[in-house]
Structure 1
Amino acid sequence: MKVLQGSNRTKIWVGAVTLLLVFYLVVTFQRSVLLLTDPDPIAKAFGAAYLVLPVIGAWAMIRELLFGARTEQLARILEAEGGLPVDDLPRTPGGRIVRAAADQEFDKYRLEAETAPEDWRSWFRLSCAYDAAGDRKRARAAMRDAVKLHRAGAGSV
């Protein structure tokens, strides 16, 4: 039996969670329709309010799946170009990246993004540096910038 690689395991988990979310959204939608068909005006109001949940959930799910697919596409391009940052930072016995080393490495990628703000590659690498430093919020923001720049055609060689 072939051992699954990390990327394949992640895809399986994403698929499983997505299926569970779709099931939840379908059930939520059905329940809202049942409430909307009830003659009681309060039940109808709850049904209308309850209908908002699957709409927002579907929007969020699609947005996150597209973000993941686009991020993976950029990673494949960078890997083919040999431009992915090397993950050779020292780690604690628990497997976490040593913060001081990540901060030192971060400055290199921050400077690269400041020097070439129109290049999606620099924003992708900055996102990886933010992630290594433990700043997930800024990592996602930088990756969103990389995706926007790539989709706009900026930074293509």
Structure 2
Amino acid sequence: MRAKITYFVTAAVLVFYFVLVGSRGVMLIQDGKLITVTMGIAVLVLPLIGIWFLWANTRFVTRANALAAELEAEGGLPVDELVRTPAGRIDRDSADEVFARRKAETEDAPNDWRCWFRLAVAYQDARDTPRARKAMQRAITLREAAE
């Protein structure tokens, strides 16, 4: 729940920023001089990229959460079996062991979105966010292809 609140607050701040920057870009364009129009167009590109980025990430998170809910309903969510230090950090050897099992599972069933989902969780536990996102995207793609 805390993550959702943080996400929505961050998104709201970004939208406010996009509106503020966008209005400045429009003001520059309305000035009518070649240099200010050029700068205004350049300034408008930033909010457009930001809005696309925010939309793409929101879509990704929504789709990943839908997969998590479906997997939870099936009883297939990965169990947290990681060993943690007294400070709460994940033991690296424990994460490597879980990761190896998840990777083998995915290699045995490369077209099963559930395996890719669990692999994404293992990557995230191992703090390999780029691979976690790629694995989750693969899970989403496979799930949508199955529909």
Partner of 2:122: 129
2:20 is the alignment partner of 1:31: no
Partner of 1:151: 144
Residue 37 of structure 1 aligns to a residue in which SS? helix
For residue 64 of structure 2, the aligned residue among 71, 84, 97 is 71
Residue ranges of structure 1 left out of the alignment (5+ in a row): 1-7
Q: Distance in 2 between matches of 1:142 and 1:74?
A: 13
- The alpha carbon displacement at 1:44 in A equals 1.1
Q: Distance in 1 between matches of 2:31 and 2:22?
A: 15
- The alpha carbon displacement at 1:30 in A equals 0.6
Structure 2 counterparts to residues 43-82 of structure 1, below 5 A: 43-82=36-75
Runs in 1 of length 4+ with deviation above 3 angstroms? none
Q: Distance in 2 between matches of 1:95 and 1:71?
A: 25
- The alpha carbon displacement at 1:88 in A equals 2.4
Partner of 2:81: 88
Residue ranges of structure 2 left out of the alignment (5+ in a row): none
Q: Deviations over 1:115-154 (max 9, x none)?
A: 1111100000000111111211101110011011111117
- The alpha carbon displacement at 1:97 in A equals 0.7
What TM-score does the superposition give when structure 1 sets the normalisation length? 0.90
Query: Please, which moves more after superposition, 119-128 or 92-101?
Result: 92-101
What TM-score does the superposition give when structure 2 sets the normalisation length? 0.96
- The alpha carbon displacement at 1:65 in A equals 0.4
Q: Distance in 1 between matches of 2:25 and 2:71?
A: 45
2:95 is the alignment partner of 1:113: no
Aligned residues between the structures? 147
| Aligned partner letter, 2:112 | D
Q: Distance in 2 between matches of 1:58 and 1:17?
A: 13
Which structure has more helix as a fraction of its residues? 2
Partner of 1:99: 92
Residue 47 of structure 2 aligns to a residue in which SS? helix
Q: Distance in 2 between matches of 1:94 and 1:49?
A: 47
Q: Deviations over 1:41-87 (max 9, x none)?
A: 21111101111011100000000001111111100111111111111
| Aligned partner letter, 2:137 | R
Q: Distance in 1 between matches of 2:146 and 2:55?
A: 23
